[in-house]
């Protein structure tokens, strides 16, 4: 075909196209070729899909390589996705762990947020399991046949979407906006949890509340997504993503502590002198004082720990671990595992993010990247963002920016989890600060602050609950009691 491809087999056939598996003769790699007959009544819609896709670049969207044609047909040559549909995945699993459901739904949220915030915003409008491929636990959205540009009202004059998955207003000529896709994500969540679709005529929302393999918080999210009236749903995919992220962070923190493992927090910066070490020490000091035993581990060659212990006289040292004010720290990059068992939170400072330390950085349970937003910092910020474009679950912190600059920076982050670092003079000596508390909660998840069962969680819960009273009495300067006694 076109002196480039050899057809291997038919992958599928539908109302608008036949899809072939082909091998590129010279590159010896597989391609999916979608053949659309020009006399097909859906020809223009199918071709419009290709032109939408060719301008999109996202890890969850197949790449469009080329468009060919002959007198009878047009051919869209795109990336071949090896895997199974989300529908097949669900049918092959009687039960799916909630962590996998959260992971899948957050991937979809990131993708839909990317479409909504595109230069020409796009509404997908037909989220269903058949349109999603699962390839090594990465989801790929493969059918954009009903996708429309947000500013094309003429596209809304007819019904779009698949019944059982699309929002009710898509069938009643109501207002079509991003809340339709919020409903679609909710429907996917409903399907992944229950294995069936939702039908307004035969089902009620309370059915999801009867499912045993679903947490109360996830049920609440699904119920809110599937509200009949758009104004009652989450008003943006970003809002939904943040709610799912809270569940994931809480679950991660709780599971790690239940298993007596340490939580590793990796930090890196887009450039030197962007505040990576300051932030790492701040997180270590705050969590060590108010949350759980924490230690700072220097994973770069800046020798900050050595400078600190030379400058201060009241540093305590035991087995290469130094304690100053509220912070435990070490310059040993590979500390003895028996020593590390004494710390529930390990904060690793990798300095500037490079190809050499990228893998170690990504190995952390929680990954934090420090960015700059000033004009002379943007090129470095863009560099590291491009390096991390395929990686999920990274928290991005902006340093040395005011509220206005921060809000402008967040607009360009495609819905990524972003926060602003609060100003703290001395990161080694902490006083309780509401903005720091909110930042730590967002980073670690609320599980650290809400559980009561173990001594450490009981202590944390009581400290957070009584912090307002303590603050008024001036008691927050007290040292953290030994929770192991």
Q: What is the mean pLDDT of the chain?
A: 83
Structure confidence at residue 219 (pLDDT): 93
3-30 tens-digit pLDDT:
889 999 998 887 778 899 999 998 889 9
DSSP character string of 98-135: HHHHHHHHHHHHHHHHHHHTSSS-EE-----GGGEEEE
> Edge-to-edge strand order for the sheet containing 84-85?
84-85, 132-135, 138-141
Q: Helix (H, G, I), strand (E, B), or coil: what is residue 294?
A: strand
Q: Residue 248, exposed/middle/buried by CB under 10 A (0-12, 13-18, 19+)?
A: middle
Q: Is 38 annotated as a binding residue?
A: yes
What is the token pair recorded at 283? 């997180």
Does the pLDDT at position 202 exceed 80? Answer: no
pTM: 0.60
pLDDT at 179: 94
Token pair for 180: 């339709």
Does residue 206 register a pLDDT over 60?
no
The rounded distance, in Å, linking the Cα atoms of 222 and 183 is 9
Range with the lowest mean pLDDT among 42-46, 92-96, 255-259, 344-348? 255-259
For residue 157, the model assigns a pLDDT of 47
- Across the range 300-319, mean pLDDT stands at 92
pLDDT of 364 > 60? The answer is: yes
> In this predicted model, what pLDDT tens digit does every residue of 131-189 receive, in sequence order?
999 988 889 998 887 888 887 645 544 556 788 888 988 887 778 899 999 999 999 99
What span, in angstroms and rounded, lies between the C-alpha atoms of 121 and 139?
21
Give the total residue count for the chain.
Answer: 485
Residue 75's nearest CA partner among 172, 14, 139, 2 is 2
Q: Taking Cα atoms as reference points, which of 53, 47, 12 lies closest to residue 32?
A: 12
Domains and their CATH numbers in the chain: 5-79 (3.30.200.20), 84-251 (1.10.510.10), 260-457 (3.40.50.300)
Q: Does the pLDDT at position 410 exceed 50? A: yes
The DSSP line for 243-285 is HHHHHHHHHHHHHHHHTTPPEEEEEEESSTTSSHHHHHHHHHH
pLDDT score of 456: 42
Q: Which residues pair with 21 in a beta bridge?
A: 9, 32
Count H helices, E strands: the chain? 16, 19
Q: Which residues contact 351 (CB under 8 A, 6 or more apart)?
A: 268, 269, 272, 276, 277, 299, 300, 301, 302, 357
CB atoms closer than 10 angstroms to residue 20: 22
Hey, is 330 helix, strand or coil?
strand
């Amino acid at each position: 075909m076109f002196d480039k491809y050899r057809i291997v087999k038919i992958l599928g056939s539908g109302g608008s196209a036949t899809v072939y598996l082909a091998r590129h003769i010279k590159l010896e790699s597989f391609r999916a070729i979608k053949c659309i007959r020009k006399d097909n009544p859906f020809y223009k819609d199918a071709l419009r899909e290709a032109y939408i896709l060719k301008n999109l670049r996202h890890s969850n969207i197949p790449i469009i390589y080329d468009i060919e044609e002959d007198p009878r047909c047009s051919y869209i040559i795109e990336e071949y996705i090896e895997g199974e549909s989300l529908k097949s995945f669900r049918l092959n699993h009687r039960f799916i762990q909630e962590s996998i459901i959260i992971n899948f739904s957050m991937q979809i949220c990131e993708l839909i947020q990317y479409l909504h915030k595109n230069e020409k915003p796009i509404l997908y409008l037909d989220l269903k399991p058949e349109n999603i491929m699962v390839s090594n636990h990465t989801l790929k959205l493969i059918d954009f046949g009903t996708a429309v540009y947000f500013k094309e009202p003429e596209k809304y004059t007819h019904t779009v979407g698949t019944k059982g998955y699309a929002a009710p207003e898509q069938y009643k000529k109501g207002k079509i906006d991003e809340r339709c896709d919020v409903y679609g994500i909710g429907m996917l969540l409903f399907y992944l949890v229950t294995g069936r679709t939702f039908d307004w005529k035969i089902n009620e929302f309370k059915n999801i509340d009867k499912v045993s393999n679903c947490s109360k918080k996830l049920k609440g999210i699904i119920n809110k997504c599937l509200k009949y009236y758009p104004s009652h749903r989450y008003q943006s995919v970003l809002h939904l993503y943040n709610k799912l992220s809270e569940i994931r962070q809480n679950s991660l923190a709780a599971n790690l502590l239940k298993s007596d493992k340490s939580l590793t927090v990796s930090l890196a910066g887009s450039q030197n002198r962007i505040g990576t070490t300051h932030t790492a020490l701040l997180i270590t000091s705050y969590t060590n004082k108010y949350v759980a035993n924490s230690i700072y581990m220097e994973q770069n060659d800046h020798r900050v720990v050595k400078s600190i212990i030379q400058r201060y006289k009241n540093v305590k040292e035991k087995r290469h671990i130094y304690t100053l004010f509220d912070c435990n720290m070490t310059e040993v990059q590979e500390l003895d595992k028996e020593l590390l068992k004494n710390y529930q939170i390990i904060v690793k400072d990798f300095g500037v993010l490079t190809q050499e330390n990228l893998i170690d950085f990504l190995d952390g349970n929680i990954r934090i990247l420090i960015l700059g937003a000033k004009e002379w910092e943007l090129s470095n910020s863009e560099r590291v963002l491009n390096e991390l474009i395929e990686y999920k679950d990274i928290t991005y912190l902006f340093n040395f920016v005011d509220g206005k600059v921060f809000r402008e920076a967040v607009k360009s982050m495609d819905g990524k989890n972003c926060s602003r670092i609060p100003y703290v003079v001395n990161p080694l000596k902490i006083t309780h600060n509401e903005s720091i508390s909110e930042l730590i909660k967002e980073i670690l998840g609320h599980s650290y602050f809400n559980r009561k069962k173990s001594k450490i969680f009981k202590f944390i819960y009581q400290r957070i609950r009584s912090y307002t009273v303590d603050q008024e009495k001036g008691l927050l300067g007290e040292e953290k009691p030994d929770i192991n006694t």
